[in-house]
Amino acid sequence: MPGAAVHVPVLAGRHVRLEPLSLAHVPGLCEVGLDPELWRITVSYVATPADMRRYVEAALADRDAGTAFPYAQVEVATGRVVGSTRLANWAPTHRRIEIGWTWIAPPWQRTAINTEAKLLLMTHAFESLLCQRVELKTDAINDRSRAAILRLGAVEEGTLRRHTVTDLGRTRDTVFFSVLSDEWPRVKAGLEARLLPR
């Protein structure tokens, strides 16, 4: 419950293992995550190892406050950290949570890792936390992210104008999406189908 640190379980698939984020992941995250292009249109901006440590510390503070389940994304085949993601803004009274703060280093983009990570996170949200709503949001100018969220099976709900000021001082419009619990079986089947060997 918010106010007390949450238990963050390992979520493991065939392609990606979501490990509870810790400061021990910072070196691995720095190895793959200091590319300026990763942070060009995100709210946070991470350019140095010190920035990455602060990024992880902020995620852990949200975990300790009981509102977030932060993860390192680890490629199963190599054991290498390839990015980060989290369930956050948890509101158990309203049975609502958000998937976000997701980044994957370029060599692992457009692989099965993001699809499987979303499947693992949504399965935990709907089937363990018993949420009735999972939210996703992105910058209105991030066409690639918007398309990826729609491919997951989420429904676009609208745009909040001048919603967030980024670390670099730009004010962004934010597009909201959601998946509801009664839509989850369809979305889950679609994600599982995308992960089948071709």
The residue extents of the domains of the chain are 11-194
Q: pTM of the full predicted structure? A: 0.95
Tell me: the pLDDT tens digits for 22-81? Answer: 999 999 999 999 999 999 999 999 999 999 999 999 999 999 999 999 999 999 999 999
Tell me: the pLDDT tens digits for 125-151? Answer: 999 999 999 999 999 999 999 999 999
CA-to-CA distance for 63 and 125, rounded, in angstroms? 15
Q: Write down the residue that tokens 């890792």 correspond to.
A: 113
Please name the helix (run of DSSP H) or strand (run of DSSP E) that holds residue 64, with its range, or none.
helix 49-64
Superfamily of domain 11-194: Gcn5-related N-acetyltransferase (GNAT) (3.40.630.30)
Dump the DSSP string for 147-198: HHHHHHTPEEEEEEEEEEE-TTS-EEEEEEEEEETTTHHHHHHHHHHHTS--
Dump the DSSP string for 100-162: EEEEE-GGGTTSHHHHHHHHHHHHIIIIIS--SEEEEEEETT-HHHHHHHHHHTPEEEEEEEE
Residue 33 token pair: 């995550």
